[in-house]
Amino acid sequence: MSGQHARVLDSLGPAITAGEYPPGSVLRTDELAQRYDVSRTVVREVIRVLESMRLVASRRRVGVTVLPAGEWNVYDPRVIGWRLSGADRPRQLRSLTVLRLAVEPVAAGLAARNATPEQCAELTEHALGMVATSRGGRLEAYLVHDVAFHRVVLRASGNEMFAPIGDVVAAVLTGRTHHHVMFEDPDPAAVTLHVQVAEAIRAGDAARAESLTREITLGALRELDVLAP
């Protein structure tokens, strides 16, 4: 995507998810081209991306119409990011963390049964990376290992329906960090739990892996009570 496409998309997308264009609003190509000082071709390309996210729909003789939130592809990482940048952030974070609570513990239990030796090594590597970056306000470095850890767990589950949830989890963890819904240093107990999850998966202890991962996600919910009530 070109710089112009990205600029328009990163302005128009958040405006729609924030409600600046209510459902039923009609977006006019000429007006948007003038507003953003780009060609109509650029606007049409952006509209196509928004259509793929189900934020808008093109209808003959009507034009491009903003769809209700119930029709949006709420699993799209960009939609998640845009919603997290708006006023509805606390509710959105809670909704996504509850989704994690429903999926990740089960995935960890399956990973204890199905993970390859290579995946176990990856989990250990990223858990230790989280330990190494958990002090001194190194949240960006910590985030890299945190995202990678959870992606491996979901992939190692062996369930092809769980693996794509890694994109959702990455968007949640990234949004939480970038919007400062994190303590300056991660909770040491949560960091330790990640190390223990890696150990449980490597040991093939499904019940322990599931229980520990549930504690991680419940801890994330408790943090939201403090940081994003």
- Domains of the chain: which residue ranges? 3-71, 77-227
pLDDT, one tens digit per residue, over 107-117 is: 999 999 999 99
* Percent of the chain with pLDDT strictly greater than 90: 80
| Residue 64, φ and ψ in degrees, nearest 5 | -90, 115
Question: How does residue 228 score in pLDDT terms, banded at 50, 70 and 90?
Answer: confident
Residue 153 has pLDDT above 90, yes or no: yes
Interval 23-33 mean pLDDT:
92
Residue 205 has pLDDT above 60, yes or no: yes
pLDDT at 1: 57
Interval 132-143 mean pLDDT:
93
Residue type, 97: T
d(CA 162, CA 219): 21
- Class (C level, CATH) for 77-227: mainly alpha
pLDDT at 185: 84
CB 54 within 8 A of CB 67: yes
pLDDT, one tens digit per residue, over 72-97 is: 999 999 999 999 988 888 899 999 99
**43 CB-side CA count, 13 A:** 15
Task: Report CA Rg, the chain.
Answer: 20
Question: How does residue 138 score in pLDDT terms, banded at 50, 70 and 90?
Answer: very high
d(CA 202, CA 175): 30
In CATH, the number for domain 3-71 is: 1.10.10.10
pLDDT at 59: 83
Residue 26 has pLDDT above 90, yes or no: yes
Residue 129 has pLDDT above 80, yes or no: yes
pLDDT at 52: 96
